[in-house]
Structure 1
Amino acid sequence: MTKTYRIGVAGLTHDHVWGNLEHLAASPNAELAAVADPNEPLIDRVTQQHRCAVYADHREMIDRESLDAVYVFCDNAAGPDVAVQAAERGFHVMVEKPMAATLEGAERMIAAVEAAGVRLMINWPVVWRPQVQAALDLATRPEFGSIWQLTHRAGHGGPEAECSPYFAEWIMDPKRNGAGAIVDLCCYGINMARALMGRPEQVTAVAGRRYDPPLPVEDNAVVVMKYPQAMATAEGVWGQVGQPLTGYLATIWGTHGCVTLGPGRGGRLWHTTAEQPAGVEITPPEPLPHMASGTAHFVWALETGNEFHPLCRPAVCRDTQEVLDAAIRSAAEGVSITLPARAAESACAFECFRR
C-alpha cells in the first residue's frame, strides 16, 4: 500500500470510538485527520492523545476537510444523517454497529453510498476477535453441515456501570438508540445469524425491565428468529454480574458438528464432532493483518477492492436492522412478526469469503 487514507471521525459519544482511535493511530496506511463533536471534554481527550484538526460540528468538518473516509461514532439516530453527508462529499464511510436506530435510517445510508459510488462498512468489534473468526470459519466449512441452530448471549453490567455518561445518555434513549438492550446487545446475535443463516422468516421477542426504578427502555431481552429448517436466538442483558464468563457467548450447531466460543479478545473456542463428542478446545490463530481491527480491514478493502467481512456488509446489516425493528415491535405488541417475502437469495453470506 502506498496511499495513506485520511480519516475524519464524526462523533465521540459512542465509547467504542476510543479503541478505534488507537487502531487508527497504529495503522501504517491511515491517519486521523480530524474529529468533530460538540462536547468539549471529549475533544480535549482526543487532543491530549492525537494531533488532528478539531470541530464542534461534523458538518463543518465534512465540508472543510479533504478526507478519504469518515468514521461515524455518534448516536444511532444521528448516524444516517452523518453518513449521507459524508457520502455526498465523496467520502467512504465506516459506521459503528448496529448501523442505525431504524431500518429506514439504514436504508438511507445504503442509498446514499450507492448514489455517490463510495463504500460503507459497519464495524462490529467482535469480528476482530480470533475465536470469532475461527468459529465462523469452522461453521462455514462443508464438513460442518447445515446450520440448524445458533444461540448468542451478550451482556454487561449496564450503561451506568459500563459506559461513559455521554454514551449512557443516548443508549438509554429509545429515540436516539432505537430501543435498549435489544438494539445494543441482541444485535450481535442477530447479525451473526443473518450472516450465517440468511434472513429469517419470522421474529419473536420478549423484553423486560428489572431495574428499579425502571429505565426508559428494556434492560434485557430475547429475540428468536425462525427459519424454514432452523432457528436462532439472541439474548441481550444489561446489569448482569460476571461479564468475563457470560458476556459474549455463542454456540453454532451444524448437522455434523458444533462450535462454542467464549467472550473477550482471548476467548476460548471448542469444536464438537461425532468423532469428538466431548469437544476439543482449539487455539485460534492470530488474525491476519487485514482482520486485526476495523481500521485494518476497512483500509484493506478500500485499497484492494475486496468485499468487507460478511458481518460488516451493508446488505447483511440492513437485514440485521430489519430484524431489530421486528423484534422491537414484537416485544411491544406481544406478537410474532413475519418478515416480508423477498426474492430467493443465498442464505449464507460467507460463500465468497474466506480468511
Structure 2
Amino acid sequence: MEKLKVAVIGCGSIAIHRHLPEYQANPFVEIVAVCDLKEDRAQLRASEYNAQAYTDYKQAITDSKADLVSVCLPNYLHAPVSVFAAEQGKHVLCEKPMATSEEEAQQMIEASNNAGKKLMIAHNQRFVPSHEKAKQLITNGEIGKVYSFRTTFGHGGPEGWSIDGKESWFFRKEEAFIGALGDLGVHKADVIRYILGTEFTEVAAMVEASAKENSDVDDQAVTILRSEKGIIGTLTASWAYGAGEDNSTVIYGEKGMLRLEDDPAYGLIATYTDGSKVNYELGQIQTNDSGGQSSSGVVDHFVDSVRNDTKPLIDGEEGYKSLQIILAALEANETKKNISL
C-alpha cells in the first residue's frame, strides 16, 4: 500500500515536538510538505524531513498532493485552514482548541462531512494510560456512582514552550481569542467528558487575566461544571503555576476515589471505602518538558482512522462539545451567570 502523504501547516513548537516526529515514526506516512509564514522555519524543517517548504498554506495543501493535513497554527487560523483542506479533499488533524467560536467549529464539521473526509482534533489526553484506565474502572462500576471531581491543568505559561517565547501569538487576543482555557482547559474539558462518559449541561466560571503582563487573554480560570447525571466538579486552567506543572484529576465516587496524574510514581491510585488501595504503574503522562521522548498517540490514531476508514476517537463533534464548555466558561465570567449547554 502506498504511503499516505502529509502536509504540516505551521512549524512552531507543537509541530516540532509532536506532529513532525510522530509522522516520521509512522511507517504508513510520508511528510511531503511543511509550511510556515517564516520561510527560514519552513526551510529548516523541510531539510530535516526531506520535504518541500512552503510559505503559502493553500499551495502547501494543493501542490504537494497531500492526503493528510496537520493544522499547527494559532487558534484563529484553525477553522479557515481546516475548511480549505477539507474542501480540497484532505483528511484533517487540527490542534486544539478546535476553533474560536461555535460557528467556526460547525463550518469545520460541515466541510469534512461534505468532503467525506476525517476531521480529528488533537486532544492527546484521551490516550494517556491513566485516563484510559480510569474510564475503564468507572465504566465497570469500580467506584460506583460518581459524585464529584476536580481536574486541573496548569504550568508557567506558553512563553516557556512556544517557539516565539514572550512574543508568542498565545498572548495576542486577536490571534488566540482564548488563553489558558483554550490552551489547557479544553484538554481537561475533553478528558473529563471522556473518562466520566457524560455530557455537561451547566457551567459557572471565574476567569482572570492577571498573571501575564501586556496580555488581555485569560491566564487563570476556575470553572464549575454540572453534568446531565448530576455530577458536579471543578475544572481549573492556569498559566501561573510557575513552580511546576499540575495535570491532575481526582474523581470521587460512592465506593472510592481515583487520583490521576497526582502522584510522581503512580499514574493512577484507586482508594476504596473498604480501606483497600491499588497503585497503578502506567506510562507517564506527556509534559512539555518530556515532549520529544514518547508518542502522544494522536498522529498514530489519526493515521489508523484514515487507513482503516474508522471514526477518530476525537472527531469534529467531540472537539466541538469540548470547545462549547470553554466558550460557556468565558460567557459565564462575562455575564456573571451560569450558562446552560
Q: When the two structures are superposed, what TM-score results if normalisation uses the length of structure 2? A: 0.88
SS at match of 1:206: strand
Distance 1:101 1:263 in 2: 30
Alignment pair present for 1:307 and 2:311? yes
Equivalent residues in 2 for 1:19-30, closer than 5 Å: 19-30=18-29
Which residue type is aligned with residue 329 of structure 2?
Answer: A
SS at match of 1:143: coil
Identity across matched positions, percent: 25
Query: What's the CA shift string for 1:291-350, capped at 9, x where partnerless?
Result: 9621111111222233322xx2321211111111111111122221122xxxxxxxxxxx
Return closer, same or farther for 1:322/1:6 CA change in 2, 3 Å cut-off.
same
The match for 1:217 is: 217
Larger CA deviation: 28-37 vs 161-170: 161-170
SS at match of 1:78: helix
Distance 1:20 1:135 in 2: 26
The match for 2:268 is: 269
Kept in 2, the 8 Å contact 1:187–1:234? The answer is no
The match for 2:326 is: 324
SS at match of 2:32: strand
Kept in 1, the 8 Å contact 2:211–2:220? The answer is no
| Structure 1 vs Structure 2 CA RMSD | 2.5
Distance 2:100 2:283 in 1: 35
SS at match of 1:142: coil
Return closer, same or farther for 1:168/1:251 CA change in 2, 3 Å cut-off.
farther
Kept in 2, the 8 Å contact 1:297–1:308? The answer is yes
The match for 2:292 is: none
Distance 2:3 2:303 in 1: 9
Distance 1:334 1:117 in 2: 41
CA drift of 1:75 comes to: 1.1
The match for 1:109 is: 108
The match for 1:231 is: 232
Query: What's the CA shift string for 1:19-61, capped at 9, x where partnerless?
Result: 2211111111112111111112321331342110111011111
Distance 2:262 2:62 in 1: 40
Return closer, same or farther for 1:260/1:209 CA change in 2, 3 Å cut-off.
same
Structure 2: state its 5+ residue gaps.
286-294
CA drift of 1:100 comes to: 1.2
Distance 1:264 1:78 in 2: 37
Equivalent residues in 2 for 1:94-243, closer than 5 Å: 94-165=93-164, 169-195=168-194, 196-211=196-211, 213=213, 215-228=215-228, 229-243=230-244
Structure 1: state its 5+ residue gaps.
340-355
Distance 1:260 1:40 in 2: 45
Kept in 1, the 8 Å contact 2:305–2:311? The answer is yes
Match of 1:297 among 298, 301, 307: 301
Return closer, same or farther for 1:173/1:250 CA change in 2, 3 Å cut-off.
same
Equivalent residues in 2 for 1:28-39, closer than 5 Å: 28-39=27-38
Kept in 1, the 8 Å contact 2:155–2:239? The answer is yes
The match for 1:353 is: none
Distance 2:3 2:212 in 1: 50
Kept in 2, the 8 Å contact 1:134–1:285? The answer is no
Q: When the two structures are superposed, what TM-score results if normalisation uses the length of structure 1? A: 0.85
CA drift of 1:262 comes to: 1.2
Distance 2:13 2:205 in 1: 26
The match for 1:7 is: 6
Return closer, same or farther for 1:75/1:142 CA change in 2, 3 Å cut-off.
same
CA drift of 1:15 comes to: 3.0
Kept in 2, the 8 Å contact 1:223–1:234? The answer is yes
Kept in 2, the 8 Å contact 1:187–1:320? The answer is yes
Which residue type is aligned with residue 221 of structure 2?
Answer: A
Return closer, same or farther for 1:271/1:168 CA change in 2, 3 Å cut-off.
farther
Return closer, same or farther for 1:285/1:180 CA change in 2, 3 Å cut-off.
closer
Which residue type is aligned with residue 321 of structure 1?
Answer: L
The match for 1:65 is: 64
Kept in 1, the 8 Å contact 2:5–2:66? The answer is yes
Distance 1:247 1:280 in 2: 22
Which residue type is aligned with residue 80 of structure 1?
Answer: A
CA drift of 1:12 comes to: 2.1
Distance 1:318 1:333 in 2: 22
Distance 2:4 2:312 in 1: 17
Distance 2:331 2:303 in 1: 37
